Amino acid sequence: MKNLFLLLVIFILASCAKGSGGSYEPIGLRKLSEEEMLERVQNKRFQQQPVGVVFKTPEGDIITPERLKGFNQVDFFGDQYVDGNGVLKEVVIRKATSSDRKIMERLKEATAKALEEVAQEGNELSPTIVPGGGSPEVELGGN
């Protein structure tokens, strides 16, 4: 359950960011929309994080794991970028806007619901393989 909580924290943090400062966007990756992020939670699918995921500033500088711990879920948001197989590859952490905070609240509610369903079903996290040989994902419950 501790790993699940950590996964939730990282997912929400990674889902919390819109433009403050730099204009870095990863080349060859696609930014997930708000609805896509919400859909991943509602479908109980989370990519294992932070394995293989690079966190960056809006200027494109890499954020170390130690430094990442200093970002909180209230003030920062993460734009998520995926490859052609839908595998999360980069997260750009930035100052959260009021719009981001609304998205974070929706994500938090959807995550709580998904976790409650998993608990009621008595299921645990089970790894699944992403089509195309991508990184493993974690699927909650029996979906």
Amino acid identity of residue 7, one-letter, is: L
User: What's the confidence (pLDDT) of residue 100?
Assistant: 93
Range of the domain at 6: 2-139
- Cα-flanking dihedrals φ and ψ of residue 107, to 5°? -65, -40
- Cα-flanking dihedrals φ and ψ of residue 39, to 5°? -60, -40
Instruction: Of 48-52, 122-126, 135-139, give the range with the top mean pLDDT.
Output: 48-52
Domain count, the chain: 1
Q: How far is CA 66 from the centre of its chain?
A: 18
User: What's the confidence (pLDDT) of residue 4?
Assistant: 52
User: What's the confidence (pLDDT) of residue 14?
Assistant: 56
Which residues, other chains included, contact 82 with Cβ-Cβ below 8 Å and sequence gap of 6+? 29, 30, 32, 88, 89
